Amino acid sequence: MMSFERAYAQFLEKHLDEARGMRRERLLKGLGYGEKLFAKNAWWPAIGSFDHLYPEFMVRDVKRGYRLIDFVYLRPPHRIAFEADGYHPHQLDRYAFDDDRERQNMLVLDGWKVFRYTIDQLKDRPKEVQRQLQQIMGTFYGKQGMEQALLTPKELSLLQFAGSRGDAFTPQEAAEWLGLTVRQTLAYLHRLVDKGHLIPASGEKRIRSYMISYPDADLESM
């Protein structure tokens, strides 16, 4: 099995290569103490792979434009958010406390499963978190869940594009985003439909447009 440090470095490099805009700026600074603790003490020992896990994932927010989630496990039919909370969340001012709770409530209303862990849990009781992560995977995906195919960089880029649009888009528009021909792009679109990330928005025998399959979340990891 690959060492954590090597897998972690490859994990960050992969997402840094794929990231754009604000998300790329955030990843360039490196993950925070709590986030790396989650990856090292909990996720890696429990799951043994960073497949489907996305750090510093950006979700569209009606009030603030975008909000960051520490980690997202993005694989149909579920969207799971993991947060590594700091030492003293109770010391937030009233506005920040209210905003934090509203943020979580909106994620749940948009169909996310949200799990939050404290620094103390991740540092002092990691095996408890590891067991819960394994329970989460078993509950939502079953024994065969980890065998599903990964998103390729092109598929991820298309998913980001679909999330940023929030409405229907044509194969031509997607091709311009990817810098590929329409024919090449259609192969990626069809795979994302098969994996449950996109749905046809118009057309039956010949699909003329597509849209993201979970529009309420309006995702974009940029």
| Domain harbouring 205, CATH code | 1.10.10.10
| Structure letter (DSSP) for residue 124 | H
State the residue range of the domain holding 102.
Answer: 4-147
Residues 66 and 97 reside in one and the same domain: yes
Tens of pLDDT along 9-60?
A: 999 999 998 888 888 888 999 899 999 999 999 999 888 889 899 999 988 7
- pTM reported for the whole predicted model: 0.63
Angle ∠(75,41,48) on CA atoms, nearest 5: 45
Distance between CA atoms of residues 81 and 108, nearest Å: 10
Q: Which SS3 state, helix, strand or coil, does residue 205 take?
A: coil
Q: Final residue of a domain: which of 102, 132, 147? A: 147
Residues 77 and 185 reside in one and the same domain: no
Distance between CA atoms of residues 110 and 181, nearest Å: 34
The answer to whether 200 and 193 are in contact (CB under 8 A) is yes
Residues 112 and 41 reside in one and the same domain: yes
Q: Final residue of a domain: which of 102, 127, 147? A: 147
Residues 111 and 28 reside in one and the same domain: yes
Instruction: Evaluate whether residue 217 is within a structural domain.
Output: no
pLDDT band at 121 (very low <50, low <70, confident <90, very high): very high
Instruction: Evaluate whether residue 75 is within a structural domain.
Output: yes
